Amino acid sequence: MKAFKQSDYHVSGHGPRNLHVLKDAIGKLHGELESDMYGKGKVIEDFQEKMAGVLGKEAAVFFPSGTMAQQVALRIWCDEKDLKTVAYHPLCHLEIHEEDGLKELHHIKPVLLADENRVITLDDVMNIDEEIACLLLELPQREIGGQLPDYTTLEEISAYCREKGIRLHLDGARLFEVLPFYKKSAQEVCGLFDSVYISVYKGIGGIAGAVLAGSKEFTEKSKVWKRRHGGDLISLYPYILSADYYFDEHIHKMVQYYEEAKELAEFYNQCFGITTLPKVPVSNMFHVHAEAPKEDMQDLLAKMYEETGIGLTGHVRENGEKGSRFEVSLGDLYSRVPKRRLKEAFAKLDERMKSR
């Protein structure tokens, strides 16, 4: 959307995904710094150790992608039990964004839990009517606006899985982003899970990559599968160095992003024909649902961007026949938007939604 690109301020995210992101991350590092070599070497081992500490796990492995890390995690738990069945949410990343890699490469069958529109409950887990090797929980559930179970439910699911010998895996692509809501540390949340994946390019703001953490036995197995997948690259340092740099830049701002997400959601909810999901965000993200078809909404937003210089989103999607939606993730950009101009933009949006 051209009008979005040309607006003075973007409200979402950390900023454009361009070469500056890499340049800033490595700019001050010494050129003599040695590459990692096929998963070994100071640059990768130091970061893995740091992440293992942050997540409170025995060991951690850097992966080029979460897609690879999570397939590998589920495969290890399935092999352990010699049972190729797992359970996860119907809108799990593995189910809808990975071209069925889990099924095509690992022949693992997923049992889909809960309705698409809500998060998994303890009842859902207790009512699975076949044996499973592993349950995957995604915190927050991204495709429904970043919703969360309450923390007690998490603890109950974790206790139930341990009792039943079901491995519990955390899709924590946005784990750090939910800690302010839970008022828990990463270690505390991860302590409920046998294995944990985190992304280094969502709230953390790196370029690409993922970390998989668990027991030493688990992570050593994951390195074998990482090689099988073609992920044991001779050099992963461009991703590792930027992950490390932006982790330190952003990790202490997760409370700020969460508070800003609640504020921004209120602005949206005050507009005619617009609601957010969830109503009150529980992380740095939420979805915006508008009572206007995608094309209409794009036109209406583009005109508002041109009038006010405030760009809310560049990607509007369909939502049923008469509606549209888009995702919002709070990052470094929000606090740079002058509040007066932001309020003007939402006043315009409200006005335009009313006069449709």
Q: C-beta of 65: minimal distance to its own copies in Å?
A: 4
32 touches its own copies (CB under 8 A): yes
Which 251-310 residues touch its own copies, going by CB under 8 A?
A: none
Q: Which of 119, 112, 84, 107 is nearest to 96 (CA)?
A: 112
In the β-sheet with 274-277, what is the strand arrangement from edge to edge? 274-277, 285-290, 323-329, 317-319
H or E element: which one contains 222? helix 216-229
Q: C-beta of 28: minimal distance to its own copies in Å?
A: 11
Contact region for its own copies (CB under 8 A) — 117-125, 186-194, 224-232, 314-322? 224-232
Residues 110, 151 contacting (CB under 8 angstroms): no
Q: C-beta of 338: minimal distance to its own copies in Å?
A: 24
With respect to its own copies, which residue has the nearer C-beta, 20 or 164?
A: 20
Contact region for its own copies (CB under 8 A) — 6-14, 15-23, 50-58, 137-145? 15-23
Contact region for its own copies (CB under 8 A) — 141-149, 152-160, 222-230, 278-286? 222-230
Question: Residue 17: helix, strand or coil by DSSP?
Answer: coil
User: What track of x and - describes contact with its own copies for positions 40 through 79 (by CB under 8 A)?
Assistant: -----------------------xxxxxxx-x--------
28 touches its own copies (CB under 8 A): no
Given 106, 109, 184, 343, the residue binding its own copies (CB under 8 A): 106
| Torsion angle in degrees (nearest 10) through CA of 21, 22, 25, 30 | -160
37 touches its own copies (CB under 8 A): yes
Q: C-beta of 205: minimal distance to its own copies in Å?
A: 12
Which 85-104 residues touch its own copies, going by CB under 8 A?
A: 98-101, 104
- Give exposure, 198-219, as e/b (b: 16+ Cβ within 10 Å): bbbbbbbbbbbbbbbbbeeebb
35 touches its own copies (CB under 8 A): yes
Backbone dihedral region of 99: left (phi > 0), alpha (psi from -120 to 50 degrees) or beta? left
Which 157-216 residues touch its own copies, going by CB under 8 A?
A: 201, 207-208
Q: Name the CA radius of gyration of the chain, rounded.
A: 21
Q: C-beta of 284: minimal distance to its own copies in Å?
A: 18
Tokens 């939910």 locate to: 178
Residues 25, 245 contacting (CB under 8 angstroms): yes
Given 15, 50, 85, 105, the residue binding its own copies (CB under 8 A): 105
Angle of CA points 112, 114, 119, to nearest 5°? 115
Q: C-beta of 42: minimal distance to its own copies in Å?
A: 12
Cα separation, 44 vs 58, in Å, equals: 16
Cα separation, 345 vs 310, in Å, equals: 6
Which positions touch its own copies (CB under 8 A)?
16-23, 26, 29-35, 37, 63-69, 71, 98-101, 104-106, 201, 207-208, 224-225, 227-239, 241
